[in-house]
Structure 1
Amino acid sequence: MELGTHALALLPLVLVASLAMFLQPAVATHGMPRPSGGFSLRLVPSAGWNSTMHVDGGGFLHLNEQAATTALRPHVHGPRGLTYSVATTVGTGRGRRTYDLVLDTVSSLTWMQCLPIAHPFPQMPPPFNLEISTSFRRVPHGSNLCHKPSRGNECEFRATRLDGAHASGVLGTETFAFADDGGRAAAAEVGGVVFGCAHIATGFHGHGVLAGVLGLGKLMPSLIWTRLRQHRQDGRFSYCLFGPTRPERHGFLRFGADVPATGHMKSTNILYMRWTSPDFSAYFVKLLGVSVAGKRLAGPPGRHMVDLFQRHKSGGRWYGGCLIDPGTGTTMMTQLAYNVLEHAVEEHVKRLGTPLVRHHGYRLCFSGTTQAAIPHLPTMTLHFEEGGEDDGDLVIRPQQLFVFVQHDICLAVVPSEHMTIIGAMQQVDTRFVYDITAGKIHFAPERCSNDTGGPN
């Protein structure tokens, strides 16, 4: 279930963020514990953000083309743009360390580099040493979480990300803590978290900071299911992705009772998938169609748009489908659907008198877009299967649909070989609530910068 490296090489954004977590509830703004069952993860942009991009007064993203292209050289397999990470303290005693782990809603398995590690990728701090943490416990060899067959008496894991990055090693349980007040005081601990100690990792690009992955997929042993099992909480988590802001600001990934109310939100059903695994347990949804500037797009000759987003099996492998993933930088559409979208956007923008130009890494760009033309750029509406009484339309504003490169503007959607992924850029300024037990995803527009705190 890997995406083609050609498609991934087109990802245009460069943002690395870090999170730290604190207790309760939705109205808490300073991370102080409250008598409730919720907790929040703090979301912080990296210091390198403003050197490569900024947001103008109209809310559009501007990229420094040279910096972005350099960062997206061909050997980078993973989506670097709009990558969010969770600042997670792992272990106890002398082995206790805090790491930035990629926020991943596709995988249910948390993993990170551990000593000894063959050919380690750079990270800060150095890889976790399980031998000096007093709370680390190996998962029994006979557990159904072990990869079969395992060698010797170790419970092995093997995980593959959508970008093709691979990790393998041994499974253990450990105490995870999520720091308050910039890491100076622990506010929440979760014991018995199952995670993979990777002794081999290939294709994972941590940009010198990231140490691994925090899995929030819909299967065991993800963190959300650990909370459900241990604390009988309601199985919800929520985020509201904000764009570039001052480095000291941080947002929140909220859990349990800390999740905002959903009465005003639209929703769609999480699709049940028979063939899933901990390293691919994504939140698939049913995408019925797409509109540009309010006009519903028709499929290519002989095809309906809904068919282009269906999941299907071919040659023993599953393809297609639509999933929502904040860990993918920008939206990717299967080739036929992308072609229809690109044509509709091109026809709309050409009427504004802006000629087509080429930029490395972008399929559709327009030259010299003036301020007068910006208000006439189109929206894109994703029509999801309704999950309640309200319709399931997610309207993506021009500020999330287009990105400025120098003085030109490019469509921030790229084609994919295998599936459609609603990525992070198109989720900015939308609140998402994942309700695992109810099988729904709720969403509503929100100014996500209002759900930030500081200083870091």
Structure 2
Amino acid sequence: MAWGACTLLLLLLLVVLGAGGGGGGGVHCLEVTRSRRALQRRHHLRSRAESGATILELRHHGGGGGGLGKSGERSREEELGGLFSSDAARVSSLQRRAGGGGGSWAEDEAAAAAATGRVPVTSGARLRTLNYVATVGLGGGEATVIVDTASELTWVQCAPCASCHDQQGPLFDPASSPSYAVLPCNSSSCDALQVATGSAAGACGGGEQPSCSYTLSYRDGSYSQGVLAHDKLSLAGEVIDGFVFGCGTSNQGPFGGTSGLMGLGRSQLSLISQTMDQFGGVFSYCLPPKESESSGSLVLGGDTSVYRNSTPIVYTTMVSDPVQGPFYFVNLTGITIGGQEVESSGFSAGKVIVDSGTIITSLVPSVYNAVKAEFLSQFAEYPQAPGFSILDTCFNLTGFREVQIPSLKFVFEGNVEVEVDSSGALYFVSSDSSQVCLALASLKSEYETSIIGNYQQKNLRVIFDTLGSQIGFAQETCDYI
């Protein structure tokens, strides 16, 4: 993929903004701004082509700080730091599990979703999360959940809740759903839960017919506890009877104002496994780059006619590893920066996780250091700035009217090339563009497993074919509203 025109790239607080166009060279372009109102508007940017590269005018807008929080810029950076710390903790948790060491939308869009099987996926910014969310029907009500390909189980917060994170909107009330039922300890789903979570002990409550309880915990201290139950689930007009999920009455963690998580991982209780008869073990998503007034989509099933991809789908083999959790593995064989191949012995390890619930892509040190060195070489004309949280390669762009951004491309097994959208290359920490960082992070050890995060998956159709054991990628403008 290549891009001949650049649109606005503004990454303020919880979200990234930007999109690409049609053919061009190995450079992406951006505009930076200090105005919060600019986050809500589209801009037509002046650009020109020189020697196969696209160059965009860099315009700075006057005025005060970003206005993102009651305490101004400092509170915004503190919140970002907390979110990135949680992301790093998630990465550590995935390493441990993998054995690697240490809202609402327009009525016409909703109708189209029901007709085509698309579930709208939006930024979780309004719910104070950097992840992506989807709203589904559950037992006659609604739940807005984080789309998570590394989770074995879908769970939502339930009333009465003993200890819950601050959710926007009502809790799911089992008493209001006539189709709700708790699963007993002797059910096959309870057995599957114990296998998936590794909690063979303590999964049953008291009483003559004890219910099946669950506990999901994460390395950052977040958790969900409750009972295993089943109810009707509605997805884009499709009703799934007897859907098994976790009804959580004690939940804490960086889940923002969401209801919980949608488990799309490779396990017996995931949404994908439970709907195998309806959708054949195939799902895909397209993550939107904007904070508001747009949505991407989650598609269940293998009907490619509902996609809006602008390039052919290219597939790489999914690496099967049943002992390493519910993750989706592929082999990463190379990375190019601005068309230049990065040389690193770390590519020999190959295996990486494609994950919708991790934000920033994390690479083993040898690969990250090689990528960093190449990026610094091509970005040498711009002054460096201090690192921020997990992002250690940052720049001060306040004095520049134009910026050329080297393209970033992942190469997977089978010579499958996937170019990262321009909005996924850099992260704006400061709204005045004085701290703009390469949106990649380094793992601590060569023995850990690299993870491709959602920040680098925007404006791509990513297809997970579990029966065909392959993952596909295609360029798609994930801006449906």
* Structure 1 position 407 matched with structure 2 position 418: no
* Structure 1 position 107 matched with structure 2 position 131: no
**What is the match of residue 50 of structure 2?**
none
More strand by share: 1
Amino acid at match of 2:185: H
**How far apart in 1 are the matches of 2:176 and 2:221?**
31
Equivalence map 1:12-411=2 (5 Å): 14-15=14-15, 53=39, 57=44, 64=66, 66=74, 68-74=76-82, 78-79=86-87, 82-91=130-139, 96-142=140-186, 143=188, 144-147=191-194, 148-149=200-201, 150-152=203-205, 153-161=210-218, 165-178=222-235, 187-202=237-252, 204-207=253-256, 209-229=257-277, 231=278, 233-244=279-290, 247-260=292-305, 264-277=312-325, 281-299=326-344, 304-307=345-348, 309-310=349-350, 321-350=351-380, 353-361=381-389, 362-368=391-397, 373-375=402-404, 377-386=405-414, 391-404=415-428, 405=430, 406-408=432-434, 409-411=436-438
How far 1:369 sits from its partner (Å)?
Answer: 6.4
**How far apart in 2 are the matches of 1:431 and 1:370?**
36
**How far apart in 2 are the matches of 1:447 and 1:76?**
26
**How far apart in 2 are the matches of 1:397 and 1:189?**
34
Amino acid at match of 1:323: I
How far 1:372 sits from its partner (Å)?
Answer: 6.3
Deviations 1:287-333 (A, max 9, x none): 1222222222222xxxx1224x45xxxxxxxxxx4111222222122
On the 8 A contact 1:238/1:253 being kept in 2, the answer is yes
On the 8 A contact 2:288/2:294 being kept in 1, the answer is no
* Structure 1: runs of 5 or more not aligned: 1-10, 18-49, 180-186, 311-320
SS, match of residue 363 in structure 1: coil
Amino acid at match of 1:154: S
**How far apart in 1 are the matches of 2:161 and 2:179?**
20
**How far apart in 1 are the matches of 2:442 and 2:284?**
28
Deviations 1:219-258 (A, max 9, x none): 22111222213x3x3322122212116x343332112154
On the 8 A contact 1:354/1:369 being kept in 2, the answer is no
**How far apart in 2 are the matches of 1:342 and 1:446?**
27
On the 8 A contact 1:338/1:414 being kept in 2, the answer is yes
How far 1:66 sits from its partner (Å)?
Answer: 4.4
How far 1:398 sits from its partner (Å)?
Answer: 4.1
Relative to structure 1, the CA distance from residue 76 to residue 324 in structure 2 (aligned partners, 3 Å threshold; closer, same or farther) is closer
Amino acid at match of 2:213: E
Deviations 1:5-39 (A, max 9, x none): xxxxxx9861399xxxxxxxxxxxxxxxxxxxxxx
Amino acid at match of 1:378: P
How far 1:285 sits from its partner (Å)?
Answer: 0.9
The structure 1 residue matched to 2:458, chosen from 418, 428, 445, is: 428
On the 8 A contact 2:289/2:423 being kept in 1, the answer is no
**How far apart in 1 are the matches of 2:155 and 2:141?**
14
**How far apart in 2 are the matches of 1:382 and 1:163?**
29
Amino acid at match of 2:288: F
On the 8 A contact 1:13/1:329 being kept in 2, the answer is no
**How far apart in 1 are the matches of 2:44 and 2:129?**
21
**How far apart in 2 are the matches of 1:193 and 1:287?**
35
Relative to structure 1, the CA distance from residue 448 to residue 333 in structure 2 (aligned partners, 3 Å threshold; closer, same or farther) is same
* Structure 2: runs of 5 or more not aligned: 1-10, 18-35, 46-55, 67-72, 88-127, 195-199
Relative to structure 1, the CA distance from residue 206 to residue 218 in structure 2 (aligned partners, 3 Å threshold; closer, same or farther) is same
Amino acid at match of 2:259: A
How far 1:374 sits from its partner (Å)?
Answer: 2.4
Relative to structure 1, the CA distance from residue 127 to residue 12 in structure 2 (aligned partners, 3 Å threshold; closer, same or farther) is same
**How far apart in 1 are the matches of 2:217 and 2:12?**
23
Relative to structure 1, the CA distance from residue 365 to residue 57 in structure 2 (aligned partners, 3 Å threshold; closer, same or farther) is farther
How far 1:216 sits from its partner (Å)?
Answer: 0.9
SS, match of residue 261 in structure 2: strand
SS, match of residue 158 in structure 2: strand
SS, match of residue 161 in structure 2: strand
Computed over aligned residues only, the root mean square deviation of the Cα atoms, in angstroms, reads 3.2
**What is the match of residue 445 of structure 1?**
475
**How far apart in 1 are the matches of 2:16 and 2:260?**
13
Relative to structure 1, the CA distance from residue 178 to residue 234 in structure 2 (aligned partners, 3 Å threshold; closer, same or farther) is closer
On the 8 A contact 1:146/1:155 being kept in 2, the answer is no
